[in-house]
């Protein structure tokens, strides 16, 4: 029986973010929270493999009580068990502290029921740091395959997986021993429509909520603000710029506007030199 685990995060939908122009901080009110899109694809992939091989799929998140919704969504996609690690003591955790919290939670789950593969999203769209996956993997001593676009094979019997990852210059096929960790690109799997039985299960399902003491007794020095080496020194809105000189086609006619624009552009010596080299 294969046991797959996905670490998921609930994030504000950054496409809808509004910023308070006075303080430069995010207005959280009214911003919908969603399951991090990359994580959703990771869950979809894990659910596919669970179906294919037969086994179990667990999802885990660290977050506020409301993150339960994100877990519910994972149950809809076929997860069997969901763990919400939630405690005020975790507030203010940066990626180092987050990776500690998740690693210990995963270690606990693994002790009860051996985990073969841990999935992460490529990155969370609120911070875009892509640090938590590698951080948890190194804490657990797992081999790591980042930017995974396809799982070719998971061979439980022989204890390995074949995973394709994407890099700037091409693709790499990686053979990793199990247990292993991966971070997923969206390409790893399409998000399916929820199956009716899973939908019904999810409606009734309540995730397990773990605190900072139970069932894992966390070291307070490694969590929350105290356990986070990085801190925000200041934040604000991006710099504003003066609008550029514009030439209007309506006012100058097409040929005239383009002629003026090209004239100005080529009076810039560096641009002129570039275009000269061209000929």
Partner 1 sequence: MTRRFWVFIEQNHGEMHPVAAELLGVANCLVSEVADELKASGEEAVVEGILVGHDVDNVAKEALMYGAERIYHVDDPAFEHYLNRPYTEALTHLVEKYKPEVFLIGATTLGRDLAGAVATSIKTGLTADCTKLEMGPFRKIEKKLLLATRPAFGGNVIATIVCKDHTPQMATVRPRVFETPVRNPKAKGEIIQESFEVTPEMMAAQLVEFINDQTTNLNLEYAEVIVSGGKGLGNSKGFELIKELADELGGVVGSSRAAVDGGWIDYAHQVGQTGKHVRPKLYVACGISGAIQHKVGMQDSDYILAINTDPQAPIFEVSTLGVVGDLYEVIPEMIKQLRAQKGASA
Ligand X SMILES: Cc1cc2nc3c(=O)[nH]c(=O)nc-3n(C[C@H](O)[C@H](O)[C@H](O)COP(=O)(O)OP(=O)(O)OC[C@H]3O[C@@H](n4cnc5c(N)ncnc54)[C@H](O)[C@@H]3O)c2cc1C
159 Cβ contact list (under 8 Å, min separation 6)? 177, 178
Residue whose CB is less far from ligand X, 125 or 163: 125
Residue 55 phi/psi, 5° resolution?
Answer: 160, -145
Binding of partner 1 by 199 (CB under 8 A): no
Binding of partner 1 by 191 (CB under 8 A): no
Among 92, 119, 138, 203, binds partner 1 (CB under 8 A): 138
Residue-wise DSSP of 182-215: EEE-GGG-PPPPPPHHHHHHHHH---EEE-SSSS
Q: Which stretch binds partner 1 (CB under 8 A): 70-78, 107-115, 202-210, 232-240?
A: 232-240
CB of 149 to partner 1, least distance (A): 11
10 Å CB burial of residue 131 (0-12, 13-18, 19+) is middle
Helix, coil or strand: residue 2: strand
Which residue bears the tokens 């006012």? Answer: 251
Binding of ligand AMP by 146 (CB under 6 A): no
CB of 6 to ligand AMP, least distance (A): 7
The listed partner (ligand X, ligand AMP, partner 1, none) that binds 279, CB under 5 to 8 Å by sort, is partner 1
- From CA 123, how far away is CA 244, in angstroms rounded? 35
Whether the upstream peptide bond of residue 232 has omega within 30° of 0, thus cis, is no
Binding of partner 1 by 170 (CB under 8 A): yes
Token representation of residue 130? 């892509």
Token representation of residue 266? 């080529």
Binding of partner 1 by 30 (CB under 8 A): no
Among 2, 4, 5, 8, binds ligand AMP (CB under 6 A): 8
Binding of partner 1 by 37 (CB under 8 A): no
Of residues 110 through 139, those in contact with ligand X by CB under 6 A are 125
The residues binding ligand X (CB under 6 A) are 14-15, 125
Residue ranges that bind ligand AMP, judged by CB under 6 A = 7-9, 36, 38-39, 61-63, 95, 98, 102, 120-121, 123-124, 127-133
């Amino acid at each position: 029986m294969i046991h797959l685990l996905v670490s998921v995060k609930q994030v504000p939908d950054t496409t809808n973010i509004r910023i308070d122009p006075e303080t430069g901080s995010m207005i959280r009110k009214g911003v919908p929270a969603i399951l991090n899109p990359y994580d959703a694809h990771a869950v979809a992939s894990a659910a596919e493999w669970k179906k294919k091989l037969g086994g179990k799929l667990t999802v885990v998140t660290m977050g506020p009580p409301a993150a339960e919704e994100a877990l519910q969504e994972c149950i809809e996609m076929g997860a069997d068990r969901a763990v919400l690690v939630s405690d005020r003591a975790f507030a203010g955790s940066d990626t180092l502290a987050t990776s500690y919290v998740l690693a210990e939670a995963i270690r606990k789950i693994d002790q009860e029921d051996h985990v073969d593969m841990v999935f992460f999203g490529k990155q969370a769209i609120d911070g875009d740091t892509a640090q938590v996956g590698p951080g948890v993997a190194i804490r657990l001593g797992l081999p790591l395959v980042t930017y995974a676009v396809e799982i070719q094979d998971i061979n439980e019997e022989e204890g390995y997986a074949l995973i394709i990852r994407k890099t700037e210059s091409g693709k790499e096929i990686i053979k990793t021993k199990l247990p292993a960790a991966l971070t997923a690109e969206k390409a790893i799997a399409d998000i399916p429509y929820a199956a009716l039985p899973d939908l019904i299960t999810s409606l009734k399902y309540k995730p397990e909520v773990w605190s900072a003491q139970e069932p894992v007794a966390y070291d307070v020095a490694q969590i929350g603000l105290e356990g986070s080496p990085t801190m925000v020194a200041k934040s604000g809105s991006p710099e504003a710029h003066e609008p550029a000189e514009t030439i209007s086609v309506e006012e100058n006619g097409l040929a005239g506007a383009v002629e003026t624009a090209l004239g100005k552009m080529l009076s810039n010596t560096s641009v002129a030199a570039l275009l000269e080299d061209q000929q």
